[in-house]
Amino acid sequence: FATTRTATSEASKRRSGHICRRRKKAGQLEQYPVDPIVLDRWECKNIFDAEFSHVRNYTPARCEKIRHEHEAFWNTRTWAAPSYIPPDPPISLSERSAFAAFNGPRTQLYSCVLPGQIVYQCMEQIASGLLNPTELLGIQHLIVDEFQDLNPCDLEFINSIADSGVTTFVAGDDDQSIYSFRFASPLGIQTFHKRHPTTQTHVLEGCFRCTPSILSAARAVLSRNLSPQSIPKNLYSLHRDSTENSMLLWSFETHKQEALAIAKSCRSLIDSGVSHREIVILLSNRRIQEKTLSDAFDAEGLPYSLPREDGYGESDGGRLALSCLRIACNGNDYVAHRTLLGVLPRIGISTCNGIAEKALVNNLSYIALFKQKPPPDIFTNREAQALSRAVSICEAVSAWAPEDSIGDRKDEISEILLMHLNPEAVDAWLGAIERLPSQSTLKEALTYIQSDTDEQQTSILDNIALRLDNSPPSLTTAPMRVRILTVHGAKGLGAQVVFIPGMEDDIWPGEYRNPYPGLVQEAARLLYVAITRSRAACIVSHSKKRFVFGTMKKQTPSRFGSQLNGRFTSRSTGLSTDEANRIRNSIEQLQPRPAAEAPERQITVPPTNILQKSPARTNSIPNQSLLIDDLRNKLATGQVLCIVGAGASIAATNRNQNASWLGLLRSGLEYCMQVVQPPPPMQWRDNIINDIETGRITGDTLPLLSAAEKISQKLGAPSGAEFSNWLDHDVGALKVVNPSLIKSILALGTPIATTNYDGLIEDVSGLPPVSSRDPRDIERAFRGERPGIVHLHGWWRHPDTVVLGLRSYESILANAHGQAMLQALASMKTLVFIGFGSGLDDPNFGSLLQWRASTFRSSSYRHYQLARFGETINAGAGLSLLYYGTEHSDLEPFLKSLIQTATPSAV
């Protein structure tokens, strides 16, 4: 249902769209001409508030306050919302009545709704017995993310579904509840277990992002500003602390000194090798802080980006271009037509409102005014001429389709902008789409321009590249700019270095929060979120004097400053070259610490039929004599195929790092940085390191495959010379140091296949390698017609056969002959996986095992994975775990114990 409210209008708009679709299914949207659009921030201000002001002769600012009171009511279902701060003077009953009289007809005319209205209307229908979401959609399970961001109306909606018997899972963090201005409260998640007493709780306490000192400072602020019902947590960092101080606290004489020091610090960091995009400046009050910082960055000549609220869509040219794209993608977008009309020069709010009023009075369809000639003698000459100008644009756009390429249409949009606005609007349009491939569709271009963040735009570019069968461009085309963000806008993001300026009471917590203790607590949570955006270094600063709204004022240091586990030091300039280099070295050295070094934490999870407790580890291995006897019998009758993983190569090379997948990825990354021309940017390297470490810590294969794909593409896989050189340099150089484990595998007398690229088994056995270059060779090998070691994922001397990244896995999964052969083996043989210690999350074998489990659901035959007892193994579907011991060294004697009759390997 995705009812979560966020600080970004477009995200709210998309989420409310989900609710619209459900209400449409229930027949609840018939009151609107077409599916309504949720107005974004610009549309609320420049269309709704502006027309309300014109009709009622209130100031636009007063109209905004009247609307905000209604949004507070819709979000909380009470006129006395606890998080609502009424204006002075308060909204009167006559103003409420005037709003209601305007809102209903106008939103129907434009087929739109205001933020918060959709969920409120849903709850009205539910309370009246006219809507039952559970029955309507057949819901059995409900997952709600970011639960701390829900407002009371959202919570009531979720509770109504949970109370109907739907199994509900909510996820969130009350310490990150920072949206009181959208009427969210941490109480929603803090009291969920009281509202639903059978709830089971699982607390995640390991922090993947921050070093211990950064996390400690953030937690220190929270500990001094806890709300009464805060959920207890004992968070710990999964990283080692850097030798460089991670938390820096600076004090400046003036706000200009502070801003210039931050700009020069960014210059020093960039010169030392830190990527622009890994530096973030977080603002708590844009009106006070932004101008001084942007002036300092301009003076330093540094590229930077401001919060997207002032982005392309805020200008008349941006809105005109967006309206053209929206109309091309949805010819029934009433709001886009109204926007197009209002941004044209010499068409003011009086004309737009006059057209709207006459359409209401004369029972006209608003959108029909843009598609056909209006009835005579209704509109004034000025209004008719305005409509005629808009109609000429709509007629041109109506010939476009959502699937048209932006390359084919960008010049036409440029002509519209040039004809109706100015050359600057054309330049801004071309700049807004400069990163888009020309083959991008208009629909993709619209989504791209409306995105809230650079990260969302990058994801869209990646998807376009994949659709076009190109290499994802994001790592090389992401804009190299230092990001200046609001703290709310940075939630969910992270960076290596974060600056938090303005640690003064007028900004943290802020003058308007001071009278309200609950909002001061929220400001502490906001600071906690800000600090924990940083990974390697967080620099918090304050100034003793600041220019505030035209007056230089002496500043009081923030009450939070003394809670940061450190002492502020006076500065007159930014980071020196040596300081920046030390931070850069810290970033290089910053690696998550092994799980064995992480502090032990106990999390109590009550028994439930959903969350099962893991069995306690002991030193005694469970009795598996039945499974061992079964495997021995299968070996004796020649029914076994051994599939060997990286564990065998690691053992044979005495733990050479390139024998493991993680080690190979790390060496491949460093190889890229040394040989690829031009050298890849440091951002590209940092992203891959992040993928590798995320996969290592979580055990998730997907980020590792993503890293492998990026490395493969950079080296020109599968046929590039550097890809071949890398395999030769890293895999081909592996040598057998200790052959005993491989000899034990060979002594089982089974056919042998491997997922390893190396030839270590061949070096010990003297058998030839068999790669997938010719699938018939593998078939002959498995039939016993050609002896050899089958390389299921490729052999290093045949680079074109190596399966490493996502695309190569897609190719092997699409190979009908290869998949059929594996399925035949899984049907006729007992597969024994050796050296797959972390589990079989491999896409190829995962797909195979799922196929077998589904096809042979009632089969009594087993496949086995040999595992070390005591480690966490996510066994594949249909696999039986067979523990060989508690240490890696126990594998070899276990294999020898299985042998009844030793015969030479046929394959």
pLDDT for 20 equals 52
744, 898 Cβ separation under 8 angstroms:
no
Q: Report the half-sphere exposure of 17 (CA within 13 A, side-chain side).
A: 9
333, 326 Cβ separation under 8 angstroms:
yes
Q: Are strands 789-791 and 769-770 parallel, antiparallel or unpaired?
A: parallel
Q: pLDDT per residue over 790-824, tens digit each? A: 998 999 999 999 998 877 777 777 777 677 777 88
| Beta-bridge mates of residue 239 | 592
Sign of the CA dihedral running 309, 312, 318, 322: negative
Q: pLDDT per residue over 296-319, tens digit each? A: 999 999 999 888 655 788 899 999
Helix (H) or strand (E) holding 204: none
Q: Which residue has the higher pLDDT, 368 or 21?
A: 368
Q: pLDDT per residue over 834-849, tens digit each? A: 998 654 666 667 667 6
Q: pLDDT per residue over 611-662, tens digit each? A: 333 333 334 577 888 899 999 999 999 899 999 999 999 999 998 989 988 8
Give the whole-angstrom CA distance, residue 546 versus residue 289: 9
pLDDT for 7 equals 33
Q: Report the half-sphere exposure of 68 (CA within 13 A, side-chain side).
A: 18
8's tokens: 């970004």
pLDDT for 787 equals 87
pLDDT band at 877 (very low <50, low <70, confident <90, very high): low
For the purposes of burial, counting CB atoms within 10 Å of the CB of 562, is it exposed (0-12), middle (13-18) or buried (19 or more)? Answer: middle
Q: Which of 260-264, 769-773, 782-786, 886-890 has the lowest mean pLDDT?
A: 782-786
Give the whole-angstrom CA distance, residue 665 versus residue 692: 8
Q: Which of 44-48, 308-312, 777-781 has the lowest mean pLDDT?
A: 308-312
Residues 6+ apart with CB under 8 A from 463: 444
Give the whole-angstrom CA distance, residue 736 versus residue 759: 9
Q: pLDDT per residue over 654-710, tens digit each? A: 989 899 888 999 999 999 999 998 888 887 888 888 888 777 766 677 788 888 989
Give the CA-trace dihedral at 630, 635, 638, 640, to 10 degrees: 80
pLDDT for 184 equals 92
Q: pLDDT per residue over 187-240, tens digit each? A: 999 998 888 888 888 888 888 888 888 999 999 999 899 887 888 888 888 776
Nearest to 526 by CA among 548, 544, 500: 500
pLDDT band at 606 (very low <50, low <70, confident <90, very high): very low
Residues 6+ apart with CB under 8 A from 837: 645, 647, 867, 868, 871, 873
531, 499 Cβ separation under 8 angstroms:
no
- Give the amino acid at 98: A
